[in-house]
DNA sequence: AGAAAGTTTTAACGGTCGTTCTAATTGGGG
DNA sequence: CCCCAATTAGAACGACCGTTAAAACTTTCT
């Protein structure tokens, strides 16, 4: 008799196909934009037929949500580790400056504009991560010699995210906006903040 | 005999229809995302037939480019005025914190991902505005007591743009990420920077 | 008034989309 | 080996897309 709590046994190929579908979808989003994601475009790149995409993800909304979730879950863990590391700000910036992740997030935010299910998920993830960042910042801000009246946690969190956004946007738009200088300066700034930190 | 240099006389209603089409398109982008822009959706909101949209904008790409250009042109002027004003940073931030403009720019950047013509235009506008900002910053940075090795113009420009992006994204995603605190802190920061300025 | 040019509508083309239904196929547990 | 469930393919639906061609209309100029 089969386990009642697991009425469905999945075949081995299924797991691999699920991740392949998510990989392909990410790739399409990054190269052609979220609007190019369709059951047919995903299927053809994955070497399967369109209806099979709907077998795994009944609606395209669920596909987008799955893409976001797969990225977000390890990121929550990584961000928690960064917050607990010996150099929280630098570790944070290192995470935030992943261009693929940031570009993907930008697209998903834009896509969420007309996909309520995705919008809800983006909001959930954003709140969870932001809360974690705010908690840590509140407790360690003093060690960096930063006045919380001038640089409150909310501003610092927004700035970290925002600079990452702007860098990715600049790099995508055209290659003459000195983003290299900005990125280098940001790294120096993080290094010097960590150095002046008193624990 | 008509003027040879002006072979086409436009009717009065045309000008008004052009601006109405751009208005409608902006509205659709902001409310439903760029992917919802189509000759038919624009036409129906404007109370005309779809092919007429193509009479004014032969391709949808040109419609997007026109939307960007109409926003960008006055913005270049306003940014130049901000840079020449008695409080450049504060004026700059005031411009950057226009939520409609920023949200629109975010969508257009995402749309440009798979629209080369739009991408070129976004790049052009970004470079023009950024160059102006960098020039001004280079000459006035010292007055704010900011070390250009720590806060080079490229980083400041990226941060201004980025914080505006992140605030708009947060506000769109879900209403619990303390963006109000961040916005208030940013305004206080600008005010205090202007106050400590020595000319 | 009539011609010419500017504007608008109607109809239609080939294409892609999300999704559903059906039937075939496959693989693993008994 | 056989059965049943999991997986896959095929065909089709109604909807929307960008765009074009042609014709109808309106305005303006002469």
pLDDT tens per residue across span A142-156: 999 999 999 999 999
Sign of the CA dihedral running A84, B177, B75, B108? positive
What pLDDT band is residue A176 in, cutting at 50, 70 and 90? confident
Q: In the predicted model, is pLDDT for residue A104 greater than 50?
A: yes
Asked if A170 reaches chain B (Cβ–Cβ under 8 Å), the answer is yes
Residues in B touching A179 (Cβ below 8 Å):
154, 158
- Check if residue B114 sits with its Cβ under 7 angstroms from strand C: no
Nucleotide of closest approach to A52 (CA, C1'): D8
Q: In the predicted model, is pLDDT for residue A133 greater than 70?
A: yes
In the prediction, which pLDDT does B68 show? 98
Asked if B164 reaches chain A (Cβ–Cβ under 8 Å), the answer is yes
Q: In the predicted model, is pLDDT for residue A5 greater than 50?
A: no
What pLDDT band is residue A4 in, cutting at 50, 70 and 90? very low
> Which three-class secondary structure string do you get for A104-126?
HHHHHHHHHCCCHHHHHHHHHHH
Q: How many CB atoms lie within 10 A of CB B111?
A: 25
- Check if residue B54 sits with its Cβ under 7 angstroms from strand C: no
In the prediction, which pLDDT does B193 show? 96
Considering only residues B192 and A172, tell me which one the structure prediction assigns the higher pLDDT: B192
In the prediction, which pLDDT does A50 show? 98
d(C-alpha B35, C-alpha B113), whole Å: 12
d(C-alpha A148, C-alpha B5), whole Å: 64
- Residue A178 makes CB contacts below 8 A (sequence gap 6+) with B130, B134, B153, B154, B157
Burial class (CB in 10 A: 0-12, 13-18, 19+), B133: buried
- Check if residue A40 sits with its Cβ under 7 angstroms from strand C: yes
Q: Do B35 and A34 touch (CB under 8 A)?
A: yes
In the prediction, which pLDDT does B106 show? 93
d(C-alpha A16, C-alpha A23), whole Å: 11
Q: How many CB atoms lie within 10 A of CB B19?
A: 10
Q: Do B162 and A165 touch (CB under 8 A)?
A: yes
B41 to each of A171, B1, B7, B25, how far by Cα in Å? 31, 41, 32, 9
Residues B53, B39, A169, B99, Cα dihedral to 10°: 80
d(C-alpha B4, C-alpha A190), whole Å: 63
- Mutation site for A-interface testing, chosen from B61, B131, B170, B190 by largest number of A Cβ within 10 Å: B170
Of B109, B150, B173, the CB nearest to A173: B109
Angle in degrees, CA B80, B83, B88, rounded to 5: 145
In the prediction, which pLDDT does A7 show? 52
Q: Do B185 and A134 touch (CB under 8 A)?
A: no
Across chain A, mean pLDDT equals 93
- Mutation site for A-interface testing, chosen from B26, B133, B154, B189 by largest number of A Cβ within 10 Å: B154
Length of chain B: 199
Nucleotide of closest approach to A9 (CA, C1'): D6
In the prediction, which pLDDT does A8 show? 59
Measured in angstroms, the CA of B11 and the nearest CA of chain A are apart by 37
What pLDDT band is residue A63 in, cutting at 50, 70 and 90? very high
Nucleotide of closest approach to B12 (CA, C1'): D27
Angle in degrees, CA B66, B26, A175, rounded to 5: 55
Residue A133 CA to nucleotide D9 C1', Å?
A: 48
d(C-alpha B158, C-alpha B85), whole Å: 20
- Residue A194 makes CB contacts below 8 A (sequence gap 6+) with A87, A89, A90
- Residue A182 makes CB contacts below 8 A (sequence gap 6+) with A163, A166, A167, A170, B152, B154, B155, B157, B158
Nearest CA in chain B to A121: B173
Residues in A touching B166 (Cβ below 8 Å):
158-159, 161-162, 165
Give the B window 124-143 contacts with A, CB below 8 Å. Answer: 124, 126-127, 130, 134
Q: Do B35 and A159 touch (CB under 8 A)?
A: no
Asked if A197 reaches chain B (Cβ–Cβ under 8 Å), the answer is no
Positions of chain B with pLDDT under 70: 1-8, 175
- Would you list the DSSP string of A150-198? TS-HHHHHHHHHHHHHHHHHHHHH-TTS-HHHHHHHHHHHHHHHHHT--
Q: Do B159 and A176 touch (CB under 8 A)?
A: no
Asked if B188 reaches chain A (Cβ–Cβ under 8 Å), the answer is yes
First to last CA, chain B: 60
Instruction: Write phi, then psi, for A33 (nearest 5 degrees).
Output: 95, 155
Burial class (CB in 10 A: 0-12, 13-18, 19+), B131: middle
Q: In the predicted model, is pLDDT for residue A167 greater than 70?
A: yes
B85 to each of B79, B88, B147, B185, how far by Cα in Å? 10, 5, 22, 22
Poorest-pLDDT segment among A90-104, A126-140, B5-19: B5-19
Q: For residues B137 and B155, is the Cβ–Cβ distance under 8 A?
A: no
Pick the closest to residue A43 from A34, A54, A58 (CA basis). A54
Instruction: Write phi, then psi, for B150 (nearest 5 degrees).
Output: -90, -45
Tens digits of residue pLDDT in A9-62 = 778 788 999 999 999 999 999 999 999 999 999 999 999 999 999 999 999 999
């Amino acid at each position: 008799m089969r386990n009642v709590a697991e009425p469905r046994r999945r075949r081995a190929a299924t797991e691999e196909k699920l991740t392949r579908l998510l990989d392909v979808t990410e790739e399409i989003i990054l190269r052609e934009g979220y609007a190019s994601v369709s059951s047919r475009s995903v299927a053809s790149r994955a070497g399967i037929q369109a209806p099979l995409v709907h077998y795994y993800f009944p609606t395209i909304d669920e596909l987008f949500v799955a893409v976001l979730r797969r990225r977000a879950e390890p990121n929550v863990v990584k961000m928690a580790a960064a917050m607990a590391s010996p150099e929280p700000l630098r570790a944070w910036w290192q995470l935030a400056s992943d261009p693929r992740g940031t570009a993907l997030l930008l697209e998903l935010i834009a896509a969420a504009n007309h996909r309520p299910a995705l919008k809800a998920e983006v909001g959930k993830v954003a709140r969870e991560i932001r809360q974690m960042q705010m908690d840590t910042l509140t407790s360690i801000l003093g060690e960096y010699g930063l006045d919380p009246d001038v640089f409150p946690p909310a501003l610092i969190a927004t700035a970290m995210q925002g600079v990452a956004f702007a860098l990715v946007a600049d790099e995508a738009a055209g290659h003459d906006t000195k983003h290299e200088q900005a990125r280098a300066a940001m790294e120096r700034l993080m290094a010097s903040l960590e150095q002046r930190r008193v624990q």
